[in-house]
């Protein structure tokens, strides 16, 4: 087929432009990315060859060769992996097929530094070659296709690329980078080797370069006629822990996660027994842009006996641990395992349990660190991934207690906005006569802190956890108690402060008796709005508040569901009034404006907890009438 010129997908153009300008200081990564693609291509060939050994043709030893040509000013990477057909080249090297691409581009700010970090997370891949090259030529042939179906792809990394069909005997892909004018320093064996050793040492595929030796006569390095392997070329996770340096673990992470930051923690071990596998798991230091999306791809790669099987093996990890990156290499699973088989396999179940336990231990270790650096790490972890981990309280009933211990909250007893109070901290600070763990939920921290429901707790010095994340109510519906102490919303049910309130009880009961008729009349006046009206001693400064009846959904949760477009069963709240407040003391059932006052107390309470009025106009009218009456 003749040469054809095609346009890059709009997102590719945008990415190319950004990358060349913002990743320049990190330009060495192009080699890591291209080697990683060659290694993927080798993995894919090995995998397809399980069913069809003929794909190896006469060239079964997989490798990648890196070379350079000083005169032509090119660097060339040549692999004998799976290769690409013409259609594959057009779509793989002309578009970005990744999910979340739109979302990603929406997040770019124009601030180079911030965007560079984002691009790093997104994974720059093949296009990173254009950081150092102003023209890239790719020649490739897919394994199994005839030599006449080779492809040449070429682009200057601007608007378009050209493809043509060529004759190509060799299976696999050859990528030639025509360097930009200022990149000559890369044309050195020493330089390329050191980049490879820095970023790609752990790549399981041998990386070959032409051997060079010192020639004393000429007093320079001279290329020999043989190749040498310049990387370790063994899968990192198969090596003994003692033989692996922290730096190697970190480099491997960066390769795996396409992240240029180091991970917060990792764990590496081999599990023997009923199910045998090796796991190397990492906790990243930063959440990717689409972390909260439950469709976010899992970061685990599955290998079987060192053969790569699949990326994003979500069956190996519960959804609430989707931030974990790493490798699981099983000795038991069949090589031709599919996602469907994975779903049913007992080995997979065992692996999933093992990976979960390991990850939780790793997080516990971070959480229990005594030193400042360790504490900071858990803080970082919590800020980045806390909301996701909270899902585990609901999702993972087997490990609920363990996950709950890892959760951190904002609280009335810390003055930062940070979530840094563990349930165990709370329990340790509980008053001797206190039996419950109290919390309040609201849309914002400010609203939570100012909630009228907190007044009595403040007065008595009782700590209340401040919950403002969307998942909180859902999470708490799975967490009835911690360490034997029930969790109680300050805005739900009858406030039973238990022994905290003993001294005042008698006096309160007396007031209750006296005001009974008044409360009955209020109930009558508000029968369309309130499920019940009762006196409360939980307030000190506010005249009234709303509470949800036991078993009813809280007002906050009802509003959240409504905002999410879901039908929340509408449960009427209970109005509680503070008999010690002047507004309540001034209520007289026989006055003409009694009903107006009742409505005002209700509407105020609804506003104070962040609710919205069904009929704001009536509220304003009523309030003005009452104000005018007072003024007059
Ligand atoms: P990613 O590796 O994350 O998929 P890249 O931009 O690095 O993204 O590569 C895009 C795609 O191009 C790859 O998924 C692969 O299909 C194809 N590709 C790139 N390099 C090679 C190669 N050396 N051999 C075969 N296919 C390749
Ligand atoms: Mg890639």
Contact between residue 269 and residue 348 where contact means Cβ atoms under 8 Å apart: no
Name the closest-CA residue to atom 27, ligand 1.
Answer: 37
Name the closest-CA residue to atom 13, ligand 1.
Answer: 92
CA of 31 to the centre of ligand 2 (A): 11
How many whole angstroms separate alpha carbon 390 and alpha carbon 291?
13
Q: pLDDT at residue 361 above 90?
A: yes
Q: Which residues contact 49 (CB under 8 A, 6 or more apart)?
A: 55, 56
Any ligand 1 atom below 6 A from CB of 128: no
- Consult the annotation and say whether 121 binds a ligand: yes
CA of 132 to the centre of ligand 2 (A): 17
CA of 102 to the centre of ligand 2 (A): 19
- Consult the annotation and say whether 283 binds a ligand: no
> Of 498, 514, 545, which closes a domain?
498
CA of 347 to the centre of ligand 2 (A): 30
Instruction: Tell whether 555 and 508 lie within a shared domain.
Output: yes
6-58: pLDDT as tens digits: 999 888 888 888 888 777 777 888 998 899 899 999 999 998 998 899 999 98
SS3 at position 173: strand
The answer to whether residue 395 is domain-embedded is no
- Consult the annotation and say whether 84 binds a ligand: yes
Closest by CA position to 273, among listed 329, 351, 216, 209? 351
> Of 198, 229, 260, which closes a domain?
229
- Consult the annotation and say whether 221 binds a ligand: no
How many whole angstroms separate alpha carbon 141 and alpha carbon 167?
9
- Residue 235 is given by DSSP the state -
Instruction: Tell whether 94 and 224 lie within a shared domain.
Output: yes
What would the mean pLDDT of 453-460 be, rounded to a whole number?
Answer: 87
How many whole angstroms separate alpha carbon 611 and alpha carbon 147?
70
Any ligand 1 atom below 6 A from CB of 43: no
CA of 29 to the centre of ligand 2 (A): 11
- Consult the annotation and say whether 79 binds a ligand: yes
Question: If you average pLDDT over every residue of the chain, what do you get?
Answer: 88
- Residue 617 is given by DSSP the state H
Q: What is the CATH number of the domain that holds 484?
A: 3.40.50.11260
Structure tokens at 175: 């990528």
- Consult the annotation and say whether 173 binds a ligand: yes
**115 membership: H or E segment, kind and range:** helix 112-122
Task: Supply angle C-alpha 111, 117, 119, rounded to 5.
Answer: 95
CA of 38 to the centre of ligand 1 (A): 8
Contact between residue 124 and residue 26 where contact means Cβ atoms under 8 Å apart: no
pLDDT score for 381: 97
CA separation (Å) from 264 to 367, 461, 472?
Answer: 12, 37, 25
Structure tokens at 134: 């102003």
Q: What is the DSSP string of 350-418?
A: HHHHHHHHHHHHHHHHHHT--SHHHHHHHHHHHHHHHHHHHHHHHH-GGGHHHHHHH-EEEETTS-SSS
Any ligand 1 atom below 6 A from CB of 579: no
Q: Provide the domain limits for residue 455.
A: 408-498
Best substitution site from 92, 139, 200, 288 to test ligand 1's pocket, by max atoms within 8 Å of Cβ? 92
Q: pLDDT at residue 193 above 90?
A: yes
**Pairing outcome for strands 74-79 and 64-69:** antiparallel
Instruction: Tell whether 623 and 533 lie within a shared domain.
Output: yes
Closest by CA position to 126, among listed 41, 5, 25? 41
The answer to whether residue 382 is domain-embedded is no
In percent, how much of the chain has pLDDT > 70?
Answer: 94
Ligand nearest to the CA of 311: 1
Compute φ and ψ for 133, nearest 5 degrees. Answer: -115, 145
Instruction: Tell whether 412 and 549 lie within a shared domain.
Output: no
- Consult the annotation and say whether 355 binds a ligand: no
Compute φ and ψ for 524, nearest 5 degrees. Answer: -60, -45
Which stretch of 181-185, 298-302, 500-504 has the lowest confidence by average pLDDT?
Answer: 500-504
- Consult the annotation and say whether 99 binds a ligand: yes
pLDDT score for 281: 97
CA of 37 to the centre of ligand 1 (A): 5
Q: Tokens 């997040």 identify what position?
A: 107
The answer to whether residue 594 is domain-embedded is yes
Q: What is the CATH number of the domain that holds 39?
A: 3.30.565.10
The answer to whether residue 381 is domain-embedded is no
How many whole angstroms separate alpha carbon 296 and alpha carbon 306?
26
Instruction: Tell whether 352 and 427 lie within a shared domain.
Output: no
pLDDT score for 493: 66
396-427: pLDDT as tens digits: 999 999 999 999 999 999 877 889 999 999 99
Counting the structural domains of the chain, the total is 4
How many whole angstroms separate alpha carbon 47 and alpha carbon 193?
29
Q: What is the four-CA torsion angle of 139, 144, 148, 151, rounded to 10 degrees?
A: -20
Q: What is the CATH number of the domain that holds 341?
A: 3.30.230.80
User: Binning pLDDT at 50, 70 and 90, where does residue 462 land?
Assistant: very high
How many whole angstroms separate alpha carbon 365 and alpha carbon 387?
19
What would the mean pLDDT of 187-196 be, rounded to a whole number?
Answer: 93
Ligand nearest to the CA of 15: 1
Q: pLDDT at residue 123 above 80?
A: no
What would the mean pLDDT of 367-374 be, rounded to a whole number?
Answer: 91
The answer to whether residue 387 is domain-embedded is no
CA of 66 to the centre of ligand 2 (A): 17
Any ligand 1 atom below 6 A from CB of 126: yes
> Of 468, 498, 528, which closes a domain?
498
In this predicted model, which residue has the larger pLDDT, 180 or 561? 180
Instruction: Tell whether 36 and 129 lie within a shared domain.
Output: yes
pLDDT score for 556: 75
What would the mean pLDDT of 604-631 be, rounded to a whole number?
Answer: 88
- Give residues whose Cβ lies within 5 Å of ion ligand 2: 37, 125
Which stretch of 70-79, 188-197, 334-343, 369-378 has the lowest confidence by average pLDDT?
Answer: 334-343
Best substitution site from 40, 79, 88 to test ligand 1's pocket, by max atoms within 8 Å of Cβ? 40
Q: pLDDT at residue 258 above 80?
A: no
Instruction: Tell whether 78 and 161 lie within a shared domain.
Output: yes
CA separation (Å) from 539 to 148, 415, 452?
Answer: 84, 22, 6
User: Binning pLDDT at 50, 70 and 90, where does residue 296 land?
Assistant: low
Q: What is the CATH number of the domain that holds 604?
A: 1.20.120.790
Q: pLDDT at residue 122 above 80?
A: no
CA separation (Å) from 570 to 126, 250, 442, 530, 614?
Answer: 53, 52, 18, 12, 13
The answer to whether residue 278 is domain-embedded is yes
How many whole angstroms separate alpha carbon 98 and alpha carbon 124?
11
CA atoms within 13 A on the CB side of 293: 11
Q: pLDDT at residue 481 above 90?
A: yes
pLDDT score for 437: 95
Structure tokens at 215: 């020639």
Any ligand 1 atom below 6 A from CB of 37: yes
Instruction: Tell whether 286 and 199 lie within a shared domain.
Output: no
Instruction: Tell whether 172 and 224 lie within a shared domain.
Output: yes
The answer to whether residue 89 is domain-embedded is yes
In this predicted model, which residue has the larger pLDDT, 516 or 99? 516
Contact between residue 380 and residue 304 where contact means Cβ atoms under 8 Å apart: no
500-543: pLDDT as tens digits: 666 677 777 888 888 888 999 999 999 999 999 998 887 888 89
The answer to whether residue 247 is domain-embedded is yes
- Consult the annotation and say whether 163 binds a ligand: no
Instruction: Tell whether 519 and 490 lie within a shared domain.
Output: no
Closest by CA position to 267, among listed 359, 129, 403? 359
SS3 at position 432: coil
pLDDT score for 207: 96
CA of 542 to the centre of ligand 2 (A): 60
Any ligand 1 atom below 6 A from CB of 139: no
Q: pLDDT at residue 294 above 70?
A: no
Instruction: Tell whether 278 and 363 lie within a shared domain.
Output: yes
Name the closest-CA residue to atom 19, ligand 1.
Answer: 37
Any ligand 1 atom below 6 A from CB of 153: no
Instruction: Tell whether 48 and 99 lie within a shared domain.
Output: yes
Contact between residue 1 and residue 164 where contact means Cβ atoms under 8 Å apart: yes
* Length of the chain as a residue count: 632
Q: At what angle do helices 594-608 and 502-525 cross, to 10 degrees?
A: 120
What would the mean pLDDT of 179-187 be, rounded to a whole number?
Answer: 95
Any ligand 1 atom below 6 A from CB of 462: no
């Amino acid at each position: 087929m003749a040469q054809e010129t095609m346009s890059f997908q709009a997102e590719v153009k945008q990415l190319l432009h950004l990358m060349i300008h913002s990743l320049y200081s990190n330009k060495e990564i192009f080699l890591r990315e291209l080697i990683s693609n060659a290694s993927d291509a080798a993995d894919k060939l090995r995998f397809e060859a399980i069913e069809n050994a003929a794909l190896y043709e006469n060239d079964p030893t997989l490798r990648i060769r890196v070379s350079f040509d000083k005169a032509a000013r090119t660097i060339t990477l040549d692999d004998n992996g799976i290769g690409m057909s013409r259609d594959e080249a057009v779509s793989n090297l002309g578009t970005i097929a990744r999910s979340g691409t739109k979302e990603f581009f929406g997040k770019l700010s124009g601030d180079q530094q911030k965007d560079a970090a984002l691009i790093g997370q997104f994974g720059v891949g093949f296009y990173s070659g254009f950081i150092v090259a102003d023209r890239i030529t790719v020649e490739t042939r897919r394994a199994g296709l005839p030599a006449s179906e080779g492809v040449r792809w070429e682009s200057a990394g601007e608007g378009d690329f050209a493809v043509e069909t060529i004759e190509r005997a060799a299976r696999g892909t050859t990528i030639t980078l025509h360097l930009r004018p200022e990149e000559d320093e890369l044309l050195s064996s020493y330089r390329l080797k050191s980049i490879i050793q820095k970023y790609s040492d752990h790549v399981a595929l041998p990386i070959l370069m032409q051997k060079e030796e010192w020639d004393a006569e000429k007093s320079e390095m001279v290329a020999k006629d043989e190749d040498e392997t310049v990387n370790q070329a063994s899968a990192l996770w198969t090596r003994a822990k003692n033989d692996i340096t922290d730096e190697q673990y970190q480099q491997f992470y960066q390769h795996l996660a396409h992240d240029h930051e180091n991970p917060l923690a990792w764990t590496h071990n081999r599990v023997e027994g009923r199910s045998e596998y090796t796991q190397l798991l990492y906790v990243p230091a930063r959440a990717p842009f689409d972390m909260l999306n439950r469709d976010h791809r899992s970061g685990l790669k599955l290998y079987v006996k060192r053969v790569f099987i699949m990326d994003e093996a979500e069956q190996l990890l519960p959804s609430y641990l989707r931030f974990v990156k790493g490798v699981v290499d099983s000795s038991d699973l069949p090589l031709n395992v599919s996602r469907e088989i994975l779903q049913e396999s007992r080995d997979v179940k065992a692996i999933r349990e093992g990976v979960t336990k390991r990850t939780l231990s790793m997080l516990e270790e971070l959480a229990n660190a005594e030193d400042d650096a360790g504490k900071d790490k858990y803080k970082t972890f919590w800020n980045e991934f806390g909301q996701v981990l909270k899902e585990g309280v609901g999702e993972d009933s087997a490990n609920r207690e363990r996950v709950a211990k890892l959760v951190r909250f904002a609280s009335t007893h810390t003055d930062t906005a940070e979530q840094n109070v563990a349930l165990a901290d709370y329990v340790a600070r509980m008053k001797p006569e206190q039996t419950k763990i109290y919390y309040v939920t609201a849309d914002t921290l400010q609203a939570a802190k100012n909630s009228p429901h907190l007044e009595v707790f403040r007065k008595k010095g009782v700590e209340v956890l401040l919950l403002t994340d969307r998942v909180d109510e859902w999470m708490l519906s799975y967490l009835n108690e911690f360490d034997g102490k029930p969790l109680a919303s300050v805005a739900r049910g009858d406030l039973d402060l238990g022994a905290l309130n003993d001294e005042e009880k008698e006096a309160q009961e007396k007031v209750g008796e006296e005001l009974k008729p008044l409360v009955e009349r209020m109930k009558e006046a508000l029968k369309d709005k309130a499920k019940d009206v009762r006196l409360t001693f939980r307030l000190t400064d506010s005249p009234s508040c709303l509470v949800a009846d036991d078993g009813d959904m809280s007002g906050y949760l009802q509003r959240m569901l409504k905002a999410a477009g879901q039908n929340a069963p509408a449960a009427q709240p209970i109005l509680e009034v503070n008999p010690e407040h002047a507004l309540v003391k001034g209520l007289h059932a026989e006055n003409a404006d009694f009903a107006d006052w009742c409505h005002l107390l209700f509407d105020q309470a609804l506003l104070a907890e962040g609710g919205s009025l069904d009929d704001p106009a009536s509220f304003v009218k009523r309030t003005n009438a009452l104000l005018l009456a007072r003024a007059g």
